[in-house]
Structure 1
């Protein structure tokens, strides 16, 4: 399974094309729209979410509620396009007619570097594609991946662990299903209700200051088959692919699995997960310090992965920048933004992790027909118990 996304933040629409989804997967517009709605929620979101009510249109690859095995095309209209048609139109304009031209790059954004790389003198050409609006389509694609996984009894759940230094206390041994239920009730997507009001107060205070705040999200995936990924080639290690996908989310700056960086402070005897076996469940581990991975492959334990999101670099009290035309010192350009997007980023993290796991499954098993895939996964699970 592979995909590509296209579209600008204030362009006409976002488009995604997904190839390699098995034929016969039950799929509806509602499956995707529910995930898109989750992305738009979350305390700290800005004015754009009041405009956009993301709804997907499926224009190919699905008929009468089931996938066809052919490429699936998804389209999401940008409602704000009506206010930007003259700015983002495809027709040629003379230089002095360029509207909302950006010449003052924002620190921490792709503006300046992207302009240098592609030779854009109007940095809007960069920020329109580098905007987090692009993640809307990745959530839509992730919704299809989550549908594949759910049909295989694999549960994906995300929650916020920290916002601006305020941490959520997570009970031990929560299942992914329990995490999903708890976090869905929270406006900041935490499983610990005692920290919610503190986080909201911090977000409010941050917004008043014209500043932004980041945090940490965690994704947990239960019931993943043993052996997804590979130890034979560096680029086939599934934990590496998941890490890359998480770091591709706007503003994500670090990833860890299991106990992560804490492992660097402990002895090997304190880190490795001892192997056990039972007739009922097959192989498992006494602990899950490694977050469900050994040698780049899933080991049957829950996948536990965290990503850290830096504060959004678009500030309403902008930092110092330099005008690319005059080279004079200026305050950076201000674009509409959120004071905190960590809860929304949690939904995006779920989507990209689900996409990588679905790709791993479709790479390992026959994936032309979904019924055939389900049978193979079931048989393989029995094989791994008895090995």
Structure 2
């Protein structure tokens, strides 16, 4: 099946299903002699894994990974890196009731029509379980970016209509501490408590709710991005829209920018270091990207997630014989995906920037 690979030079190919033996990823194009911090990679996976709190799915997966190739004495060799993550807590029987039914807003119907077969056990490849492989690959990309002093920070900025205030991006280390101190992964403590209460209420009602993840990438050098079709924001957009449940992507001023005048929206250049190699702008409505190429300012973007499609309420649907039937969600599901999606967004951003850094070396 096509569509399982991502990237031009730093590439990943993920494999496996939600209820199969394992999931995993093959990373190709990673430079040699990159020292891998195994504890860091596991900590990244721990931020995505299920069963973290009362407001996430209670499926129990340790997401303990093993590296089967491409690493020797703790360093990358420049050859393909294979990472395997076993599935430990599958309950395929939880999905027997939808074996012949199409769940509303799921991929059941479209997969059946495209391939003539579908894995009803948790959705197979369409399951968000697949994103654990991306997080593992993204952790290695982050270790590569660390050598260039590039840092990525994401947090939950909205759940439903509850929105967090704008954050001071100059104190990212402190924001990370706050984010990781609450189950919602919002970097504003007061808003996090409100969000947690709201998600708990939604869960008790058997329903789900969407949200938004906001991200800042700092330290990106000028010049990343390729004209015309591989613009940096286009690559970021594709990466984010490939994540399960994502329904929107905007960078910089985003849709709000459409309400402004050019005289308000233009980012005026300044030259604090008196060098054309390090220009800055007074504002950052461009989100760190102009003409599809990074301009040295912080890259900022938002990713919107829809409500989880599986709800514990009776709904009308159609079975594979065309009959109208009732369906009620069963099994273990997130009432809101954004707390666990933060690390997925960061991982995909790291993969894009790592790939663009290596592509940019062609011009150096």
Q: Secondary structure at the match of 1:112?
A: helix
Counting matched residue pairs gives 350
Change (3 A) 1:130 1:347: same
Give the TM-score normalised by the residue count of structure 1. 0.85
Q: Which has the larger radius of gyration?
A: 1
Shift, 1:28, TM fit? 3.2
- Which of 294, 308, 313 is the aligned partner of 1:298? 294
What secondary structure is seen at the aligned counterpart in 1 of 2:140?
helix
Q: 1:326 deviation in Å?
A: 5.1
Q: Which of 201, 208, 211 lines up with 1:212 in the alignment? A: 208
Alpha-carbon distance in 2 for matches of 1:332, 1:283 = 57
SS at match of 1:218: strand
- Check the 8 A contact 1:19/1:70 in 2, yes or no: yes
Q: Is the CA contact 1:176–1:220 (under 8 Å) kept in the aligned structure 2?
A: no
Instruction: Label 1:157 to 1:169 Cα distance change in 2 as closer, same or farther (>3 A).
Output: same
Superposed CA offset, 1:263-312 (max 9, x none): 10000111111111122772111111111100111110001010000000
Displacement of 1:105 in angstroms is 1.2
**Is the CA contact 2:312–2:329 (under 8 Å) kept in the aligned structure 1?**
no
Distance 1:365 1:44, change over 3 A: same
Output the CA distance in 2 between the equivalents of 1:42 and 1:308.
Answer: 22
Cα shift at 1:47: 1.3
1:45 match:
56
What is the CA distance between 1:42 and its match in structure 2? 5.8
Deviations 1:125-165 (CA, angstroms, capped at 9, x unpaired):
78121000000100111101111111211111111110011
Of 311-320 and 237-246, more deviation after overlay is shown by 311-320
Which has the larger displacement, 191-200 or 325-334? 325-334
Give 1:219 shift.
1.1
Residue of structure 2 equivalent to 1:142: 138
Counterpart of 1:243 (choices 237, 246, 250) is 237
Would the aligned equivalents of 2:288 and 2:298 in 1 still touch at CA under 8 Å? Answer: yes
Q: Distance in 2 between matches of 1:324 and 1:12?
A: 27
Query: When you count helix as a share of all residues, which structure comes out higher?
Result: 1
The alpha-carbon deviation at position 101 of structure 1 amounts to 6.3
Whole-Å separation in 2 of the counterparts to 1:69 and 1:318:
52
Partner of 2:72: 63
Report if the CA contact (8 A) 2:314-2:326 is conserved: no
The verdict on how the C-alpha distance between 1:148 and 1:38 changes in structure 2, with shifts beyond 3 A counting, is same
- Choose the corresponding residue for 1:105, options 102, 106, 115: 102
- Aligned to 2:12, the other structure's residue is in SS state strand
Q: d(CA) in 1 for partners of 2:207 and 2:78?
A: 46
Alignment root-mean-square deviation, CA: 2.1
1:323 aligns with 2:319: yes
**1:110·1:127 contact (CA, 8 Å) conserved in 2?**
yes
Who is 1:284 aligned against?
Answer: 280
**What is the alpha-carbon distance in structure 1 between the residues aligned to residue 338 and residue 23 of structure 2?**
22
Aligned-residue offset at 1:170: 2.4
- Quickly say closer, same or farther: Cα 1:101–1:194, change in 2 above 3 A: closer
8 Å contact 1:190–1:196 — kept in the other structure? yes
Matches within 5 A, 1:331-342: 331=327, 334-342=330-338
Task: Find the partner of 1:4 among 3, 6, 13.
Answer: 13
CA distance in 2, matches of 1:174, 1:155: 12
Aligned to 2:88: 79
Q: Distance in 2 between matches of 1:332 and 1:101?
A: 9
Q: Answer whether contact 1:43 1:340 (CA < 8 A) is retained.
A: no
Any idea what SS the aligned residue of 2:239 has?
helix
Structure 2: which 5+ runs fail to align?
A: 1-9
CA distance in 1, matches of 2:61, 2:116: 31
Q: Distance in 2 between matches of 1:112 and 1:242?
A: 28
For residue 318 of structure 1, report the CA deviation from its aligned partner. Answer: 4.0
- How far did residue 46 of structure 1 move? 1.2
TM-score (norm 2): 0.91
Task: Provide the C-alpha distance between the structure 2 equivalents of 1:269 and 1:181, rounded to a whole number of angstroms.
Answer: 38
> In 1, Cα distance between the equivalents of 2:79 and 2:97?
40
Shift of residue 72 of structure 1? 0.3
Task: String of CA shifts for 1:176-214, please: whole Å, max 9, x gaps.
Answer: 444323322222111211112211111111011100011
Stretch of structure 1 that moved more, 344-353 or 274-283: 274-283
